[in-house]
Amino acid sequence: MAPAVLIENMQKRYGSVTAVKDVSLKVEPGEIFGLLGPNGAGKTTTLRCLCTLSTPDSGKIEVSGISVLDNPKAARQLLGYVAQEVALDKVLTGRELLELQAALYHLPRKIIPERINNALNLLGMQEYANKKTGTYSGGLRKRLDLAAGLLHQPDVLVLDEPTVGLDIESRMAVWNFLRQLRSDGTTVLITSHYLEEVDALADRVAIVDKGVVIASGTPSQLKDRVGGDRITLRIREFSPAEEAEKAKQMLSTLPMVKSAIVNTAQGNSLNLVVTPQSDALMTVQKALQDAGLPTFGIAQSRPSLDDVYLAATGQTINDAELAAAGTRDLKKEKKQNMR
Strand 204-209 and strand 32-36: the pairing is parallel
Q: What's residue 308's pLDDT?
A: 81
For the sheet containing 156-160, what is the strand order?
66-67, 58-63, 5-14, 17-27, 212-217, 204-209, 32-36, 187-192, 156-160, 79-82
Give the chain's domains with CATH numbers.
5-222 (3.40.50.300), 228-302 (3.30.70.100)
Q: What's residue 328's pLDDT?
A: 52
Which pLDDT tens digits describe the chain residue by residue (339 residues)? Answer: 799 999 999 999 999 999 999 999 999 999 999 998 888 889 999 999 999 999 999 999 999 999 999 999 999 999 999 888 887 888 999 999 999 999 988 999 999 999 999 889 888 889 999 999 999 988 889 889 888 888 888 999 999 988 887 788 888 888 888 898 899 899 999 998 778 888 889 999 999 988 999 989 998 888 888 778 889 999 998 889 999 999 999 999 999 999 899 988 788 999 998 988 878 999 999 999 999 999 999 998 888 888 788 777 777 777 776 766 655 555 555 555 555
Neighbouring residues of 321: CB distance < 8 A, sequence distance ≥ 6:
38, 39, 40, 193
Burial 142-151, CB ≥16 within 10 A → b, else e: bbbbbbbbbb
Q: What's residue 164's pLDDT?
A: 80
Q: What's residue 245's pLDDT?
A: 94
Are the CB atoms for 160 and 36 separated by under 8 Å? Answer: no
Handedness of CA 247, 253, 255, 258 (dihedral sign): positive
Are the CB atoms for 14 and 40 separated by under 8 Å? Answer: no
Distance between CA atoms of residues 327 and 125, nearest Å: 41
Strand 204-209 and strand 187-192: the pairing is unpaired
